[in-house]
Structure formats: structure tokens, C-alpha cells
Structure 1
């Protein structure tokens, strides 16, 4: 396992089936150390084309499964996985609810999904607003391929700086951003329109803080759209910009009100905690 994220992901049985999403050149698990398979929405050739100006892509691991529609459809003839792992991938999903519903279908009962996400407050997404359940639900119910307002948000308001230490300082950050944001409005609109016309946007369609993600999933549970139970949650460590969680696949969450109420209580208790006391802390449940 990658040493830089070993503090977030623990207890994975590498002899069991693992699916890693979007590994590019830095997989969490190597084939030599685990029964791992790699998935991406792009083929090896497509990844090479997109990242042709980045030398690191030459070291990208070969993709085993190319996902063009859904994971359930692409992997319908493949044995189910005991683990799914991803590092800074979930924020790229334009249809968040669909992804979380979809990925559960390729997992064994009780299979664990580990995800690491950027805390937008401490990376280049600092000036963007967290994704709400209302937004995710609207995209889900209207079957939008992506949210146009998030495309604009990404193009217009991503910061030049991506150093978490600077964002944790928060000294005159707004002024520094405004003075360094030299994107011309006409160029922003042109790029925005090109995405709407079909150009690719390899950016963050969603942004989160640990608590905003917890609250988003709280409402997903209320809406019977969350087939998962929380197993662990790691809050963003000081001077870093990654938080993490693990979820156990549990289709019964979609129909069992008692089970859902138990999960809601777990989340509510965390939301009530002082976040300053949670920095870097990992909460675990049986």
C-alpha cells in the first residue's frame, strides 16, 4: 500500500478481491502485493492522450476495466469485489448519488468501500461552495449528465495555490486569490461553453468538507438513496487536505427504517462535535 495514505486505509485483506478506481500512475495497491484490479472511465489510450503533456502518465498502470456506462453493467460478468478503494476520485464524479448506488452493486454483502477525498478548504477548491444534498438530488432526479453551474464554478473559482499549509494559515487569503485570479471573463465563458458543447472537463464536479459530506449522506439516508453503513471516518489532519472514510455495502439501508435511524444517529453525533477537536481523528464503528 502507498505509504502516504496508509494512515487512512487500514485492515484491508490483500488476499481478497480489490477494485481500485482511477489509479493512473500512483495506485494504492500494486498487483505484486494484492489481488487488485484497476478501473477507469477511460482506456489506456484515452488516458495517454489526455495526459500527453504530463510525463508521469507514462508510468500509469494498465486499466483492467473501462467503465463507459455503469460499474454494474461493465462488471456484470465479473465476480463481486470485497473492497473498492479510491483516492481523490469521488469529487470527479458528476453524478454523485448514481455513483454511490452503482458501486455498491459490484460488491459482496458487507464489502468495504474506502475513499479519500480533498477537503476543499485546504486545496485549490478553497473558494468554492460545498456540494449540497439538494444539488446532488436535483442532478439525480433530472438525470443531468453534470451540473453546468459546477463547471462554471470550477473554471472561474479554482485557486492558483494548492498548498494546504497556506490555506491552514488563512492570512489574507481572499485578497491574495482575488489579485492572482487573472482569468479573463471572456475566456471563462468560452471554456464554459466548450464544456457544454462536449469538451471534457477533468475537474472537481463536487467539493466537500468532512462535515458537509457527512450531512450530504445524512440526507441521502433520509431519502433512501444510501445503501451503505459507515465503518470509519477520518477527519482532515492539521496542515493536510485529505479526509477519508470507509463504508460497508448494505442494500438493506434502502428499506430498513430501524437500520437507517441507527446510521442517522451516528452521523448526527459526529456533526455535533467540535471540528477543531476532530482534526486527524479517526472514528470507528463495529
Structure 2
């Protein structure tokens, strides 16, 4: 058998080994986040295991779009579009979502202003939302104001190594500080261009197996023209939705951990999980500083 023929078998064997190792890590580490040495990543856990930690008696989900990750009588929803507009957007993106899965949006702000929320919660959740915020620090400060002391913010975030962000550089602390100093409300052209031109496929498993494809602009030069159009729209004051922040599990742990330690944001970072094999996302839980109200 040739080396070329063996290559897929080798990738498959590596994949099986990773699955077995991560299953062992999940069994050993599922409940040890609270005793992790500071700065270390927690063992990978499943999405249902992570979301089971959310207090649904008093919870705000931020940016549910057409597939909320938490439900219950005590859950409220915030988004930039109302339910009807979300259904239209879902259809335009070919997501074929069941209309019954699109929640009633309790708080709607076209500019994403969380200040319109008129109460506090014991928990907040966002799924693949935090990376879209033009000013990450302002977002975390706003979430902090909506949580009671001791409240938790549960974050599901894509890992750039296993999604269409693969060819983008990791965000660094200086980028985040600059966006906050500028009070950024729209994405800058450099991020719009990178997001438009350098995206690749979004198959997590292919990325895990080392099959990353190419930046799409290399396959079709039209994406440069599309980037020009989007940058022009942003310059006119229109919001263009892109990934502003590019994280891995380790870089999120380092950057957000330091923001907490330096009291830039009113949170303690409890843990960040390693990205599970075959998955596109990692999880983080932050606790608002202060004693819970009895």
C-alpha cells in the first residue's frame, strides 16, 4: 500500500486516539473546574453538560437568533432583531429553521445596546455571540450590569482553529484595548476585509484532521470586491456583521483572565474548557464579583 493510500488511515487512527483521550479527560475532569490551578484550561465537556449549569429560573440569553440554547419560564431573550425579522433573516441564510424554534424576543435593540434591559438576572448566556461585539470590554461591562452579585455569564465561543476563521490571526489584548478606547460601535474595515476575504470552510472535523482548505479569496477574487462594498457600507454608518474577535481556548483564557484579574471587567473567570475533539467551540463561565444577595 502506498504512502498516499495510508494517509487517510493514519488520519483516522489519530482521530480515534484523540476521541478516546478526550473521553477519558471528560470523565476525570467533568466536575473539577472549581479546583483548577489558576490559568489552566479545564477538561473538555459536552454542550449539554455545560448548559446544565445555567440557572434557568432567572436567565437572559443574548443573541439567540433562530436556535436558543436555553429555554424555560424564567428565560428572557435579547437580540438586535425581533422574532419576525429573525425568521426572515434565517430564511435568507437558507437555515431552514422551524418557526417554532425562534423565540419571542423580550428586548430588541438594533444597535445591540444591552442598556434597554430593565432588570437583573442570576445568569446570562451567549452562544457564538461574544466574538461579534465591536467593543468586547464594553459588552462584558454591560453584561456585568445585568447580573446580580455572584451571577454567572456562560459563554459558548468558536475556536478559530476549527471554523472558517482558521486563516485569521488571533486577537491580542492590544486590539481589545484599542476598540474600547475608541468606543467602537461598528467593525473596522480591516476586520471586515479579513472576515470577507480570508474565510475558509466551516467543517470542524475537517479542520481537526488538518484539512483547512484555502482562504476563499484565493478561489474567487470577487470577495475582494465584496469586501470593498462592505467597507464602504460601514463607512456610511451601516452595521456590517463579522467576527471582530478571533480566539482559541487558550487565548480566550489568557486575555479574559487578565481583564478579570486587573478589574477591567467585574468578573472572575471560573474556567475555560478545552475545545472538544470534533467540535467548533469551547466554553467559559464567569462569575460577577460580589456577594450574592440572600
TM-score after normalising by structure 1: 0.76
Of residues 211-220 and 92-101 in structure 1, the stretch that sits farther from structure 2 once superposed is: 211-220
The equivalent residue for 1:213 is: 252
Shift of 1:196: 2.5
Do 1:23 and 1:38's aligned partners in 2 also have CA atoms closer than 8 Å? yes
CA distance in 2, matches of 1:147, 1:175: 24
The equivalent residue for 2:268 is: 229
SS in 1 for 2:67: coil
CA distance in 1, matches of 2:106, 2:148: 19
The equivalent residue for 1:13 is: 55
Distance 1:156 1:36, change over 3 A: same
The equivalent residue for 2:13 is: none
SS in 2 for 1:114: strand
The equivalent residue for 2:280 is: 241
CA distance in 2, matches of 1:27, 1:208: 22
1:83-94 alignment, distance < 5 Å: 83-94=123-134
1:9-88 alignment, distance < 5 Å: 9-14=51-56, 16-31=57-72, 34-53=73-92, 54=94, 55-56=96-97, 58-59=99-100, 60-67=102-109, 68=111, 70-71=113-114, 73-76=115-118, 78=119, 80-88=120-128
Distance 1:41 1:52, change over 3 A: same
Shift of 1:176: 7.8
SS in 2 for 1:186: helix
CA distance in 1, matches of 2:64, 2:181: 30
Do 1:18 and 1:82's aligned partners in 2 also have CA atoms closer than 8 Å? yes
The equivalent residue for 1:149 is: 190
Q: How many residues align?
A: 241
CA distance in 2, matches of 1:11, 1:174: 36
CA distance in 2, matches of 1:218, 1:91: 16
The answer to which structure, 1 or 2, has the higher relative contact order (CA under 8 A, 6+ apart) is 2
Of residues 206-215 and 194-203 in structure 1, the stretch that sits farther from structure 2 once superposed is: 194-203
CA distance in 1, matches of 2:277, 2:243: 22
Structure 2 spans left out of the alignment, 5+ residues: 1-45
Do 1:228 and 1:251's aligned partners in 2 also have CA atoms closer than 8 Å? no
Shift of 1:215: 1.9
Distance 1:94 1:184, change over 3 A: closer
1:94-243 alignment, distance < 5 Å: 94-145=134-185, 146-159=187-200, 161-171=201-211, 173=212, 180-221=219-260, 223-243=262-282
Of residues 189-198 and 80-89 in structure 1, the stretch that sits farther from structure 2 once superposed is: 189-198
TM-score after normalising by structure 2: 0.74
Do 2:141 and 2:265's aligned partners in 1 also have CA atoms closer than 8 Å? yes
CA RMSD between the two structures: 2.4
Do 1:133 and 1:219's aligned partners in 2 also have CA atoms closer than 8 Å? no
Do 2:83 and 2:104's aligned partners in 1 also have CA atoms closer than 8 Å? yes
Structure 1 spans left out of the alignment, 5+ residues: 253-286
